[in-house]
A and B are shown apart, each in its own frame.
Chain A
Amino acid sequence: MEFQDGFPDYETLAQHDNEAGVGVRKKLMNVFWLLLVVTLVEVCIGWFWHDIHASTHLSKTWLIITFIMFTLLKAGYIVMTFMHLGDENKWMRWMILGPYSLFIVYLIYMVNVTEGNYSGKKEHRSLLDTLPQSTQPVAPAHHE
């Protein structure tokens, strides 16, 4: 293939005209409303969690799973739409997401699954962790 100096003009590839802009803006606003609704739902669940827990006896694991799912949903929309990664070609997408996911899955496995399981037990706390401590339960703080 012949070498094409100066082509393509990557900086201008994403440009569009006014008619196309209407559709793009509509899509962006839809994502905004979705992010807003998900955040409101999250705050509501956080606010009413004690009541939900008291009436349904759902374990905290379900709360954690729900929040992480919501977070990943929001993150996906931000990265794919707001950061336009969904508009890049597939090599670019993989170049960004692949190595990062690999590192993070490995890190979470190492730290929070393997090591966390081991040192989560009280008898495995190191000398550094055992400052003289009051054993009384922590009262919720109220600012006056």
Chain B
Amino acid sequence: MSHAVAKPQGWGGGTSPLGTSHGKMFMWFFLISDALTFSGLLVALGFLRHKFADVWPVSTDVFTHFPFTHAHLPLIYVGWMTFDLILSSVTMVLAVEAGHRKDNKAVLLWMFLTIIGGAIFVGSQVWEWWIFIEGSAEGAMRWQLIDGQWVEKAFSGANLFYNEYSVTPHYANFFFCVTGFHGFHVFSGVVINIVTFIMAYTGVFERRGHYEFVEKVGLYWHFVDLVWVFVFTFFYLL
């Protein structure tokens, strides 16, 4: 099979002006709508952050923990999560590249590593939620509605009404909402990656003659990484 044809373009008819298969094109359209959802969340985060600038905590002071140590290590764990996701992104793109060469063995290897990276990320996020929800032993003084009465007493950790990091509940709400929505995307990405791995293992793509499915799954996985780049900046760094 020769693929020396130039990429079709133009609006003269007979070819697709976009030069892509409908599957890839609709994966892109889906990602655009998903990106708009995430953008809406992040823009709302920016809005409330600005509105509550006087009581909004600096994330560098909140996310200071690292597993198996009590050392004060701001942002290092989130930095590690970012590194892990970038790493699993590069293994994914190598799987796509192996697919372009129809190298089934390499696709299996890189898909496997991508699944591992994704699973580590989901686990890391679970750990971070756990630390965030549990909080410190002493907590912080918060006005709380208990049995119909507003009382000021110590509150540890975070839920959707109070959190020890800020007097505004929006901080914890956005933490749960933004990282939760992203974490769910990573989780579904890992499931889709496992499906792709099984399909490659059973030789579906070899029979099909092309690995475009891997490419489409790769689009989704890289999108998840892309979103994390923005969440990392707008929730953790700023």
B43 engages A82 (CB within 8 Å): no
Complex: chain B residue closest to A124, CB-CB: B51
Mask of A37-63 contacts with B, CB within 8 angstroms, 1/0: 001101100110100000000000001
Q: A21-B97, A71-B233, A92-B20 are in contact. Are A141 and B75 (CB under 8 A)?
A: no
Residues of B within 8 A of A4 (CB): 14-15
Interface residues of B in 49-99 (CB under 8 A from A): 50-55, 57, 60-62, 64-65, 70, 72, 74-76, 79, 82-83, 86-87, 89-90, 92-94, 96-97
Q: A28 to B98, alpha carbons, bound, how many Å?
A: 12
B143 engages A131 (CB within 8 Å): yes
Name the one of B7, B60, B87, B164 contacting A49, with C-beta atoms under 8 angstroms.
Answer: B60
Residues of A within 8 A of B225 (CB): 78, 82
- Whether B12 is near chain A, meaning CB under 8 Å from some CB there, is yes
B83 engages A39 (CB within 8 Å): yes
Name the one of A11, A141, A144 contacting B21, with C-beta atoms under 8 angstroms.
Answer: A11
Q: A126 to B100, alpha carbons, bound, how many Å?
A: 56
Interface residues of B in 157-184 (CB under 8 A from A): 164-169
Interface residues of B in 119-168 (CB under 8 A from A): 131, 134-137, 140-143, 150, 152, 164-168
Q: A8-B8, A138-B165, A138-B167 are in contact. Are A112 and B47 (CB under 8 A)?
A: yes
**How many B residues face the partner with a CB closer than 8 A?**
95
Q: A15-B3, A138-B165 are in contact. Are A25 and B97 (CB under 8 A)?
A: yes
Residues of B within 8 A of A10 (CB): 16, 19-21, 24
B46 engages A111 (CB within 8 Å): yes
Name the one of A83, A95, A116, A132 contacting B50, with C-beta atoms under 8 angstroms.
Answer: A116
Interface centre among A29, A31, A47, A92, by most B CB within 10 Å? A92
List residues of A whose CB falls within 8 A of some B CB. 1-4, 7-8, 10-18, 21, 24-25, 28-29, 31-32, 35-36, 39-40, 42-43, 46-47, 49, 63-64, 67-68, 70-71, 74-75, 78-79, 81-84, 88-92, 95-96, 99-100, 103-104, 107-108, 111-112, 115-116, 119-120, 122, 125, 129, 131-134, 136, 138-144
A28 engages B93 (CB within 8 Å): yes
B230 engages A71 (CB within 8 Å): yes
- Whether B105 is near chain A, meaning CB under 8 Å from some CB there, is no
A–B complex contacts, Cβ < 8 Å, 5 sampled? A64-B238, A82-B90, A108-B46, A138-B140, A143-B136
Q: A42-B237, A134-B141 are in contact. Are A89 and B89 (CB under 8 A)?
A: no
- Whether B197 is near chain A, meaning CB under 8 Å from some CB there, is no
A122 engages B54 (CB within 8 Å): yes
Residues of A within 8 A of B210 (CB): 11-12, 15
Q: A58 to B9, alpha carbons, bound, how many Å?
A: 49
Residues of A within 8 A of B19 (CB): 8, 10, 13, 88-89, 91-92
B5 engages A8 (CB within 8 Å): yes
- Write the nearest CB–CB distance from B114 to chain A, whole angstroms: 12
Q: A118 to B5, alpha carbons, bound, how many Å?
A: 56
